[in-house]
């Protein structure tokens, strides 16, 4: 009570002080005194601890410099879109990477759909290959095994990747797995497809892999109880993941699973373990991809493979079976299985088999080759304009009109009829001449050659604006109302990096006519030509295509289309770090685009990588 009263007086006075009593009711003795001294010391009072602990043998010790261990107690929220799919006639496959299963009518096949993103599956961000985030090949194995379980064909006879599946930094990708009906032997073909999708537009589906599923294979025998095997020599791993992080491939914490390794003859034995943060997720997978990936990190140890220091690219899996689910640790045995191929046997702590791989074929890859780098993911919602080739319809001979001088690209046999101006054209139609199929206005024809002069741009813009007003006026002959006015420019737009814009005097017309088109759809056409005679002969087909904007290059037609922009990699002086963060990321050893730490036969500490 006295302590509290004194503290209240101090607080009321507005000063900084600490009150600590050395004796309390039912609490006294040396323990209470030491506690009071500690409270006073923390508050800033000087305490001679050497005298306090004199003769007790107590001594100062350093506190650990690492962060204190923390444990997350918040409930992990379900993935977006993981609601009740049965309400829309689907069923849930019960897998973190898959959202729904569809059984097509009149077919014994299966279609699995899902969505994968770094936001919903953040552990995937620890798998990077030269700055990109490809889906690990072990994730494809997991998906194939899951599909096989659903159709009672759990054995993966073969699995071959056709293209890397690169994840975008923002947004996600739609996944689709197709499983065919069984053949006469019970085998089923499986295909892996993905596309970027958002509220703007859906991209085309890309096939990333194919495989064959078949009924369950033989169950292997349990591993010997002795671990590590007798006669196996330990391998010093050192700072293996730190060394890999300094190169084009790196591993993040989710993929730091290789804990110990031994070699005997040409075999490699390894212990791998999921980080504690992923243990809860392990039960949601048949075999967590990060754990199986860690098993492949030992591929380059000892004399298992003679890589010559080259990075290796896993190409094809054969004879894969998952025998137990939810594992968080594995005892792995890797054995040579031919040229640049290994077989894998993984068991749990009791020796019971968890996963077996008959053979994994790996191919050397030169990281300096342009094609070695996985393609950048398309941005989920950033679009850019791309000039895309389109075929032109075949058109017969059709008369068309020109306002002003005949353009140089219009030959004498082109069917063009020249008129001095719009009034002359209207008079010709009123006199009974045929109505032209379209009317061309080329403001550069017969004009000044100094295309870059500002006065030229103003002169042409004024002429086009005057003609456009007359073309949409009520005074125009109604027989010309359905006829499009084609405003032609030359080299006024760039269709690619190799197509420079030299017609600067006509370039502003594109912005002007676009504004007119927005108010008068279907009445105007923008056409840019390169002056090639073939392009001149393609003008009638270009107008007949119905495109509001079109460019002719060498007789071929290009039209502007929106396409997703590739994610641009930010420059970073240290490969293997997240752009803009300085935080090291990682890659793994996927089927086609992963990394495996590989050491040469002398067991040096220099790692080679599997891309």
Catalytic residues: 127, 293
Cα dihedral: 470, 473, 474, 480 (round 10)? 60
Backbone angles phi, psi at 499, to 5 degrees: -120, 85
End-to-end CA distance of the chain: 71
Nearest residue to 531 via CA among 558, 503, 561: 503
Q: Where are the alpha helices (DSSP H) in 79-228?
A: 137-150
Cα dihedral: 49, 54, 56, 62 (round 10)? 40
Question: Which H or E run contains 313?
Answer: strand 312-322
Nearest residue to 421 via CA among 499, 485, 474: 485
Q: Tell me, what DSSP letter sits at residue 537?
A: H
- 76 by DSSP, 3-state: which? coil
Q: How many angstroms separate the CA atoms of 465 and 591, rounded? A: 60
Give whole-number Cα distances, 300 to 229, 333, 529, 550, 589, in Å.
19, 13, 58, 55, 12
Q: How many angstroms separate the CA atoms of 458 and 460, rounded? A: 6
CB-based burial of residue 160 (10 Å sphere; 0-12 exposed, 13-18 middle, 19+ buried)? middle
Q: How many angstroms separate the CA atoms of 509 and 276, rounded? A: 63
Backbone angles phi, psi at 242, to 5 degrees: -65, -40
Residue pair 171/567 in contact (Cβ under 8 Å)? The answer is: no
Q: CB neighbours (10 Å) of residue 64?
A: 8
Q: Retrieve residue 318's tokens.
A: 């054969």
Residue pair 557/536 in contact (Cβ under 8 Å)? The answer is: no
Q: How many angstroms separate the CA atoms of 468 and 216, rounded? A: 73
Q: How many angstroms separate the CA atoms of 584 and 578, rounded? A: 6
Q: How many angstroms separate the CA atoms of 208 and 144, rounded? A: 13
Degrees, nearest 5: CA angle 387-396-553: 25
As beta bridge partners, residue 413 has: none
């Amino acid at each position: 009570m006295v302590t509290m009263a004194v503290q209240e007086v101090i607080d009321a006075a507005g000063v900084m002080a600490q009150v600590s009593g050395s004796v309390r009711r039912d609490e006294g003795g040396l323990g209470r005194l030491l506690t009071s001294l500690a409270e006073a010391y923390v508050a800033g009072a000087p305490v001679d601890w050497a005298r306090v602990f004199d003769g007790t043998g107590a001594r100062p010790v350093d506190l650990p410099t690492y962060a204190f261990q923390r444990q997350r107690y918040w409930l992990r929220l379900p993935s977006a879109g993981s609601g009740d799919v049965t309400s829309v006639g689907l069923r849930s496959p019960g897998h973190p990477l898959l959202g729904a299963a569809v059984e097509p009518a009149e077919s014994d096949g299966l279609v699995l759909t899902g969505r994968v993103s770094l936001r919903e599956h953040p552990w995937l961000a620890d798998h990077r290959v030269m700055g990109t985030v490809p889906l690990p090949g072990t994730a494809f194995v997991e998906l194939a095994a899951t599909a096989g379980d659903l159709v009672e064909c759990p054995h993966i006879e073969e699995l071959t990747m056709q293209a890397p599946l690169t994840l975008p930094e923002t947004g996600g990708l739609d996944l689709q797995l197709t499983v065919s009906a069984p053949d006469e032997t019970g085998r089923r073909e499986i295909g892996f497809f993905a596309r970027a999708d958002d509220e703007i537009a859906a991209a085309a589906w890309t096939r990333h892999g194919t495989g064959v599923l078949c009924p369950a294979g033989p169950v292997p025998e349990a591993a010997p109880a002795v671990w590590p095997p007798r006669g196996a020599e330990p391998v010093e791993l050192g700072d293996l993941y730190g060394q890999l992080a300094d190169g084009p491939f790196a591993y993040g914490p989710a993929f730091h699973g290789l804990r110990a390794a031994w070699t005997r003859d040409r075999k490699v034995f390894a212990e791998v373990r999921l980080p504690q943060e992923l243990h809860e997720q392990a039960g949601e997978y048949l075999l967590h991809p990060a754990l199986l990936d860690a098993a492949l990190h030992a591929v380059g140890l000892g004399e298992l493979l003679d890589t010559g220091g080259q990075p290796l690219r896993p190409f094809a899996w054969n004879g894969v079976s998952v025998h137990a689910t939810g594992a968080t640790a594995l005892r792995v045995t890797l054995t040579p299985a031919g040229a640049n191929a290994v077989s894998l046997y993984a068991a749990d702590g009791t020796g019971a088999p968890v996963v077996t791989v008959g053979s994994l074929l790996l191919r050397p890859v030169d990281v300096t080759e342009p094609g070695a780098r996985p393609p950048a993911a398309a941005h989920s919602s950033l679009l850019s304009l791309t000039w895309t080739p389109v075929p032109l319809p075949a058109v017969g001979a059709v008369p068309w009109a020109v306002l002003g001088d005949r353009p140089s690209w219009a030959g004498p046999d082109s069917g063009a009829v020249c008129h001095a101006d719009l009034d002359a054209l209207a008079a010709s139609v009123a006199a009974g001449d045929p109505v032209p199929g379209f009317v061309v206005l080329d403001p550069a024809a017969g004009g000044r050659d100094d295309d870059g002069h500002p006065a030229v741009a103003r002169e042409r813009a004024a002429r086009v604006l005057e003609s456009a007003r007359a073309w949409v006026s009520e005074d125009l002959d109604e027989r010309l109302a359905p006829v499009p006015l084609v405003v032609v420019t030359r080299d006024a737009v760039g269709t690619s990096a190799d197509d420079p814009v030299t017609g600067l005097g006509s370039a502003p017309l594109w912005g002007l006519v676009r504004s007119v088109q927005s108010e008068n759809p279907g009445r105007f056409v923008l056409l840019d030509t390169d002056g090639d005679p073939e392009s001149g002969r393609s003008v009638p087909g270009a107008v007949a295509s119905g495109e509001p904007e079109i460019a002719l290059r060498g007789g071929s037609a290009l039209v502007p289309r929106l396409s997703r922009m590739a994610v641009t990699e930010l420059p970073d002086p240290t490969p293997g770090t997240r752009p803009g963060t300085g935080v090291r990321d990682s890659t793994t050893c996927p089927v086609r685009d992963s990394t495996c730490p590989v050491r040469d036969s002398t067991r040096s500490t220099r790692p080679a990588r599997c891309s």
